[in-house]
Structure 1
Amino acid sequence: MNADRLLAHYERIADAPDAVARLRRFILDLAVRGKLVLQDPSDEPAVELLKQIAKEKARLVKAGEIKSPRPIPALSEIPFLIPPSWRWSQLAEIGILSPRNEAPDALQASFVSMPMIAAEYGVANEHEVRPWGEIKKGYTHFAEGDIGLAKITPCFENGKSAVFRHLTGGIGSGTTELHIVRPLFVDQDYILLFLKSPHFIESGIPRMTGTAGQKRVPSGYFAHSPFPLPPLAEQHRIVAKVDELMGLCDQLEAARSVRERARDRLVSASLFRLNAPSPETFQADARFALDALPALIARPDHIKALRQTILNLAVRGKLVPQDAKDEPADELLRRIAKEKARLLNLGEIKKEKPLNPITVENQPFDLPRGWSWVRLDSLSRLITKGSSPKWQGVNYVNADDGILFITSENVGNYKLRKLNDLKFVERRFRDIEPRSMLKQGDFLMNLVGASIGRTAIYDLDLEANINQAVALIRLVEISRGLLVPYLLHYFNSPAAIDFMLGSRVITAQPNMSLTDAREFPVPLPPLTEQRRIVAKLDELMALCDRLEASLVATAATRRCLLEALLAAALAPTEDRELQAAE
């Protein structure tokens, strides 16, 4: 076995995706291929064990305890090489399939439902105690020491199987979605580890029959799959070794969990100190976070939290220093108000209801000097969303015959998404609600459901309509694009999302009304500071992108190394091949 290299490199691959789970499957694969423990020439070979099993079956048939078994079909092919002392067999040959129990109705017995059967190796089955008379009909029978395999999807793919032990009254019944074998002179736990092995499960998945969601493993696959049978003494050694190595996997998993928890605490503590800063220590905390976090970050959720923290600092005026020479935001607001009044006089925009003022008492958080709180409608010439009742009888058409139809699914964080499967509607809908026709540079914001808060800029050349997409608003910013970069960051920040999911949310699912959107509070910096904020955000988000790419590359390297080491460990040695050829 070439497993030594795997263990020597384990520290490098321990953080690979599913490393310990892969190692567990690897152990089971080695076990059923005869590569986990050494063979002992003094062991009685498996061919003798098969003779004993055949003799015992004949005795049981003669005694009337079992029916005469059906003929065992010959194996058409063998999936891999096994040691010379082993033999290829089948579960139908080494045990009794689908046994039945006979017992008084009053006997207390065990009932086992599917959730009581574990997918993990080494986890015992649970059971409920019930009178045998209540559970003997309509369920699958088994007894102490029988092995059950879950045959329905996804339980089979997940590895649900068990050796039934500690059964009340020595017998039990359970879910009908089980195949059962009662072994004769074969170690039950060896059969179990075979049923949980990657080879058996992966070979069985293509053979499942039935409709989606109700696929099942045929009884023929369970009964007649090639079963690698070692000598009985070696079976015991294999099971003992598997138990030992699974215990080692438990330790590795526990150690990894300790590392992960420690790393998570450090990341969380660092980000917390930035999100709830102390004026006295903020600069030092910020330097520590930016210096230390790249070394601590190990998962995508860490990077997501870092991005959110950076945005949170930006919209609270803590990412870049203020400059007393900057024109305050109030001056910018006066110019925007003057422009809005001009557009109103020209009839280019409609007069809306007055907005509730943002007072000192209802400010979401304190702002630096020079900043101002403002309602979103004060910065916009139009905030609207489509009216779906006018869309009765909508038909989708080819791109050449219609106009693009943007839905909430197309609006991601910062940018449009799912553009490879766009929908188009009839051109007549251009005139149904002209206010819902998009132009380049318009904001699109999700207002409903799990996607609430995703905000992007419409940047496609195609004319488009959001008439039926009631989960979107179209926001036309009034300052001819000057505020767009900053607002886009703000809308995707935790502060903005908190507002959307806060007191303005109504109905059973997250939902912002158009009035709520108009009254959306925006922390507005001076225009020159906005530019510094956006530049710093671009720099730090690029750093996050590099960290994310590094994580992906590292994970891929670890995965490739793990795959290579597993393949090498499973590869037959020249001696093994020569031995098998003999």
Structure 2
Amino acid sequence: MPDNWVSVPVSELFYLNPKSEIADNIHIGFIPMACVDDGFSGNHYFEKRIWKEVKKGYCHFQNGDIGIAKISPCFENLKSTIFQGLPNNCGAGTTELVILRPINIYAKFYLYLFKSQWYIDEGTKYFKGVVGQQRVHKGIFTDLHIPLPPLVEQQRIVTEIEKWFALIDQIEQGKVNLQTTIKQIKSKILDLAIHGKLVPQDPNDEPSIELLQRINPDFTPCDNGHYPFDVPNEWKWCKMNDLCSFLSRGKSPKYSEDDKTYPVFAQKCNLKEGGISLEQAKFLDPSTINKWDSKYKLQTGDVLVNSTGTGTVGRTRLFDESCLGKYPFVVPDSHVSVVRTYEEINSEYVFAYMSSQLIQQYIEDNLAGSTNQKELYIRHYMD
């Protein structure tokens, strides 16, 4: 510590858990643990109550007091605050808060001290109780020695802390704004791509109608004017089914509790942050292997679309067999649809198309089922 600082026990700087004496009919602020924010903000909220309803069985506090959660994990999550704005300068709340009333010190400096990793580490050394109901030892609020800088320096330190915190908040908000911008730009790129405006049109390219008729000699072209936007003359609108060798929902598997040989691809394997992982996959009962046709074994280039579940339906990823690792193959469950194109079709283009805002909105508009279990039927992929 600096030479002009001293080390003193907490009890020298605060009154511990003071009591209030006010008239029974006075309105006060009531604060359960849920009304104290965790982290560094120090924010809290309150409910208006009549004093006589809460004066017994709860802790008491007033504006300017510090409240610190003593129960785990609230203590480690930095649930602590300086009470302010309380009606009639009085409050009551959960007994899982320890109340410290400052004595001629700058409370905000000590709120930040109580949120420091050093203080949290000191508190967690002396947990008492069973796991899930552990509380810090009372000594952390009384006997523990903490630094005491001069009062003016306490205030200067808080000013400096809040200056840096404000800068960090700006950086965090900038990061959020950047992520939003990145998402918008990616969406715009996909939009340009599916409209035929991302790259120049080459008159030497094979017309799309020839590609489609090579895949299926009986293919009948559609009138481009029937569809939602114009495409280049060399392009043709077609149904997804015209491009696919396999287009189907997966099947309902019978799972194995013990055998970990054959993973089943479920919605959660299509990661929210992007990509694919089999880490959370369940496994197929080996005795049911013969019930799965080989076409259900996922292949590199398969476009996988979550077909059920509010918040996950429409999530689209491109499968690559490299994610199999040690597993021989993986099959999809009934909540995932497989879009497998013919070899002549670039599956990455279909993946980009399925990921575009146009198709994601189409999926959203054609969902069926209840609010909690939205579903996209396979026929909508075929249209």
Sort the TM-score into its range (normalised by shorter chain). Answer: 0.7 to 0.9
Q: Residue 240 of structure 1 aligns with which residue?
A: 155
1:443 pairs, out of 281, 290, 302, with: 302
Sort the Cα spacing of 1:496 and 1:442 in 2 relative to 1 into closer, same or farther, 3 A. same
How does 1:418-429 map onto structure 2 within 5 Å?
418-419=277-278, 423-429=282-288
Does the 8 Å CA contact 1:444/1:475 hold for their aligned counterparts? yes
Q: Residue 242 of structure 2 aligns with which residue?
A: 378
Q: Residue 202 of structure 2 aligns with which residue?
A: 323
The reply to whether residue 310 of structure 1 matches residue 189 of structure 2 is yes
The structure with the largest strand share of the pair is 2
Sort the Cα spacing of 1:317 and 1:434 in 2 relative to 1 into closer, same or farther, 3 A. same
Does the 8 Å CA contact 1:413/1:492 hold for their aligned counterparts? no
Q: Secondary structure at the match of 1:455?
A: strand
The structure with the largest helix share of the pair is 1
In structure 1, C-alpha distance between the alignment counterparts of 2:352 and 2:183, rounded to whole Å: 14
Q: Secondary structure at the match of 1:445?
A: strand
Deviations 1:478-524, CA, capped at 9 Å, x for gaps? 3x3543342233233333323222x22222244221111222xxxxx
**Displacement of 1:368 after TM fit?**
1.1
Q: Residue 269 of structure 1 aligns with which residue?
A: none
Q: Secondary structure at the match of 2:228?
A: coil
Where structure 2 has 5 or more consecutive residues not aligned to the other structure, the ranges are none
After TM superposition, the score normalised by the length of structure 2 is 0.79
Sort the Cα spacing of 1:154 and 1:372 in 2 relative to 1 into closer, same or farther, 3 A. farther
Q: Aligned residues: percent identity?
A: 27
Which amino acid counterpart does residue 91 of structure 1 have in structure 2? Answer: V
Specify the structure having the higher radius of gyration (Cα).
1
**Displacement of 1:367 after TM fit?**
0.8
Q: Secondary structure at the match of 2:211?
A: helix
1:98 pairs, out of 8, 17, 23, with: 17
Q: Residue 367 of structure 2 aligns with which residue?
A: 505
Does the 8 Å CA contact 1:190/1:239 hold for their aligned counterparts? yes
**Displacement of 1:332 after TM fit?**
1.7
**Displacement of 1:135 after TM fit?**
1.4
Sort the Cα spacing of 1:486 and 1:129 in 2 relative to 1 into closer, same or farther, 3 A. closer
Sort the Cα spacing of 1:168 and 1:477 in 2 relative to 1 into closer, same or farther, 3 A. closer
Q: Residue 341 of structure 2 aligns with which residue?
A: 477
Q: Secondary structure at the match of 1:488?
A: helix
Which deviates more, 409-418 or 86-95?
Answer: 409-418
Does the 8 Å CA contact 1:91/1:181 hold for their aligned counterparts? no
**Displacement of 1:427 after TM fit?**
3.1
Q: Residue 142 of structure 2 aligns with which residue?
A: 223
**Displacement of 1:318 after TM fit?**
0.8
Q: Secondary structure at the match of 1:317?
A: coil
2:316 pairs, out of 444, 454, 466, with: 454
How does 1:32-431 map onto structure 2 within 5 Å?
82-114=1-33, 117=36, 127=46, 129-143=48-62, 145-153=64-72, 155-165=74-84, 167-205=86-124, 207-208=126-127, 216-230=135-149, 234=150, 236-246=151-161, 248-249=163-164, 252=167, 260=174, 299-338=178-217, 363-388=227-252, 391-392=253-254, 394-399=255-260, 402-411=261-270, 417-419=276-278, 423-431=282-290
In structure 2, C-alpha distance between the alignment counterparts of 1:444 and 1:140, rounded to whole Å: 58
How does 1:478-497 map onto structure 2 within 5 Å?
478=342, 480-497=343-360
Which amino acid counterpart does residue 197 of structure 1 have in structure 2? Answer: S
Does the 8 Å CA contact 1:151/1:177 hold for their aligned counterparts? yes
Does the 8 Å CA contact 1:145/1:188 hold for their aligned counterparts? yes
In structure 2, C-alpha distance between the alignment counterparts of 1:404 and 1:187, rounded to whole Å: 59
Sort the Cα spacing of 1:323 and 1:95 in 2 relative to 1 into closer, same or farther, 3 A. closer
Sort the Cα spacing of 1:156 and 1:437 in 2 relative to 1 into closer, same or farther, 3 A. same
In structure 2, C-alpha distance between the alignment counterparts of 1:161 and 1:439, rounded to whole Å: 51
Sort the Cα spacing of 1:408 and 1:102 in 2 relative to 1 into closer, same or farther, 3 A. closer
Does the 8 Å CA contact 1:441/1:457 hold for their aligned counterparts? yes
In structure 1, C-alpha distance between the alignment counterparts of 2:273 and 2:60, rounded to whole Å: 58
Does the 8 Å CA contact 2:106/2:155 hold for their aligned counterparts? no
Q: Secondary structure at the match of 1:330?
A: helix
How does 1:513-552 map onto structure 2 within 5 Å?
513-519=377-383
**Displacement of 1:251 after TM fit?**
6.4
Sort the Cα spacing of 1:248 and 1:376 in 2 relative to 1 into closer, same or farther, 3 A. same
In structure 2, C-alpha distance between the alignment counterparts of 1:106 and 1:422, rounded to whole Å: 59
**Displacement of 1:149 after TM fit?**
1.3
Sort the Cα spacing of 1:333 and 1:253 in 2 relative to 1 into closer, same or farther, 3 A. same
In structure 1, C-alpha distance between the alignment counterparts of 2:280 and 2:85, rounded to whole Å: 56
Q: Secondary structure at the match of 2:118?
A: helix
Which amino acid counterpart does residue 21 of structure 2 have in structure 1? Answer: E
In structure 2, C-alpha distance between the alignment counterparts of 1:116 and 1:415, rounded to whole Å: 34
How many residues are paired up?
375
**Displacement of 1:156 after TM fit?**
3.3
Does the 8 Å CA contact 2:316/2:351 hold for their aligned counterparts? no
Which amino acid counterpart does residue 245 of structure 1 have in structure 2? Answer: E
In structure 2, C-alpha distance between the alignment counterparts of 1:92 and 1:104, rounded to whole Å: 29
**Displacement of 1:237 after TM fit?**
0.3
Sort the Cα spacing of 1:306 and 1:171 in 2 relative to 1 into closer, same or farther, 3 A. closer
Greater length-normalized contact order (CA 8 Å, ≥ 6 residues apart): 1
Deviations 1:251-307, CA, capped at 9 Å, x for gaps? 64687699x49x96xxxxxxxxxxxxxxxxxxxxxxxxxxxxxxxxxx444444333
**Displacement of 1:132 after TM fit?**
2.1
Sort the Cα spacing of 1:137 and 1:405 in 2 relative to 1 into closer, same or farther, 3 A. same
After TM superposition, the score normalised by the length of structure 1 is 0.55
**Displacement of 1:328 after TM fit?**
1.7
In structure 1, C-alpha distance between the alignment counterparts of 2:63 and 2:315, rounded to whole Å: 56
In structure 2, C-alpha distance between the alignment counterparts of 1:182 and 1:311, rounded to whole Å: 59
**Displacement of 1:314 after TM fit?**
1.6
**Displacement of 1:331 after TM fit?**
1.9
